[in-house]
Amino acid sequence: MTRKTKICVFTLGCKVNLYDSDAMLAVFRQAGFEVAEGLEYADIYVINTCAVTAEAEKKSRQSVARVLKVNPSAEIYVCGCASQRDNAQFEKRGVVYVGGTEGKIKLAHAIVDRYSGASSLPAEADFAISDKFEEGEGVVNLRTRHFIKVQDGCNNFCSYCIVPYLRGRSRSRSLQSVLAELDGVADSVREAVVTGINLSAYGRDNGLSLGKLIDALGKYDLRIRLGSLEAGVIDEEFLDATKRLKNFCPHFHLSLQSGDEEVLKAMNRKYTPAEYAEKVRLIREYYPNAGITTDIIVGFPTESERQFQNSMRFALDMGFSDIHVFPYSSRKGTVAGKLKPIPPDVMADRVRRMTEVKKTLAESFLEKNIGKPQRVLYETCTDGVWEGHSENYIKIYSLSGARNEVETVNPKRLYLDGLLV
């Protein structure tokens, strides 16, 4: 190559997709390309798509047009869940190749080979879902926190969720492979975020468990943060393992989806509100000031006004530090996708009311942490204001700081979506 070709990987969706993108970036950098994330000008773009909701899939489609506005001559490669679900929606101007959720590392190598003239891309995308865990040859982390994927796929088949059909059955990464990756990044980052499509299922297919994985992470002088968890994984054995870590971040993203027992049953969720509440109580017994965040789906097709109010009351009772509020999104191919959706005006009203609950709870949690010492990892600086996250996942703002440094601070007041030092 006479000049350094630039490749941007644009990622939509979950932290697992972020990890997959980091693995592709590693292939590109090792081959001598300049690499970047986002939608800055580049010669080549890889769009790593999401299909968890109709809105996420729409944004994935729109990202092609966004890329072409930045560089009308760009070569575009598409992969991920949205293209796994429907590859035809991405077959448009500028798109060279459409892949699925599998073979992202192979796609990265094929792009390198194609651009260097060594070989061409396969004639057709392979949309088969493998039961083998795909591992890269390292990662390029352009952020201060390192996301590490230890599990992929899901066996739960919640009635509203398309992900198991796109990602395949649950499969876990070997402990040896996880530790080998962390060995390579432990000196350059201050926090590792352990992720998976269903992280709580880690080890069920290879004789391990999430608790055993956590114990193995004790060798690193890193903050350890966990991705989204299912309520069933929370018990004393699991929490004891977190307590043994030197720098465990007491932030638990505990998926809820609804606070009504009948709706949870219709969703094929495997717990009741009472069982979920007991898990929250146990977390707070171990970590009184833990950040406990969650997801709530509003407007599930069978959800009545009474059931919605039950969900709001339950959220308030749990005292979440934040809620990701999602309007129900019908996904063709799921059990719930056959149900009649609720009227749009009812949906909008429930989203508005649950969002008010979210704001109330988030502000209450922030106020409780004013004046309490917080260990913050600084990540970015904008217009002289440093931004990072505390161990319990509060957004901390400061007029002083340093990227990738951890500092103990005493927040003084509310500021934007967090606290100001």
Q: In the block, which residue shows the tokens 């194609």?
A: 114
pLDDT in tens, the chain (421 residues): 456 899 999 999 999 999 999 999 999 999 999 999 988 999 999 999 999 999 999 999 999 999 999 999 999 999 999 999 999 999 877 799 999 998 899 899 999 988 876 666 655 556 667 777 877 777 777 677 899 999 999 999 999 999 999 999 999 999 999 999 999 999 889 999 999 999 999 999 999 999 999 999 999 999 999 999 999 999 999 999 999 999 999 999 999 999 999 999 999 999 999 999 999 999 999 999 999 999 999 999 999 999 999 999 999 999 999 999 999 999 999 999 999 999 999 999 999 999 999 999 999 999 999 999 999 999 999 999 999 999 999 999 999 988 888 999 999 999 999 999 9
In this prediction, residue 135 carries a pLDDT of: 76
Give pLDDT, residue 369: 98
* Token pair recorded at residue 226: 């966990």
Could you read off the pLDDT of 1-57 as tens digits, one per residue? 456 899 999 999 999 999 999 999 999 999 999 999 988 999 999 999 999 999 999
DSSP 8-state class, residue 402:
-
pLDDT of residue 108: 93
**Residue for token digits 């926090």?**
191
DSSP labels for 332-356?
Answer: TTSSGGGSPPPPHHHHHHHHHHHHH
3-state SS class at 324 = strand
Q: What is the Cα–Cα distance from 204 to 214, expressed in whole angstroms? A: 15
pLDDT score, position 1 = 44
Q: What is the pLDDT of residue 125?
A: 56
Reference 107, options 28, 30, 173, 168; nearest CA is 28
**Amino acid at site 310:** N
CA-based angle 55:366:389, to the nearest 5?
Answer: 70
- 181 touches 188 (CB < 8 A): no
Specify the pLDDT at position 121. Answer: 67
Rounded to two decimals, what is the model's pTM? 0.93
In whole angstroms, give the CA distance from residue 128 to residue 277. 39
For residue 375, the cross-strand partners are 408
DSSP state of 222: S
Using CB atoms within 10 Å of the CB of residue 286, give its burial: 0 to 12 exposed, 13 to 18 middle, 19+ buried: middle
Which of 190, 158, 105, 87 lies closest to 333 in space, CA to CA?
A: 158
Tally DSSP H helices, then E strands, for the chain: 12, 18
Q: What is the DSSP letter of 127?
A: -
What length does the chain have?
Answer: 421
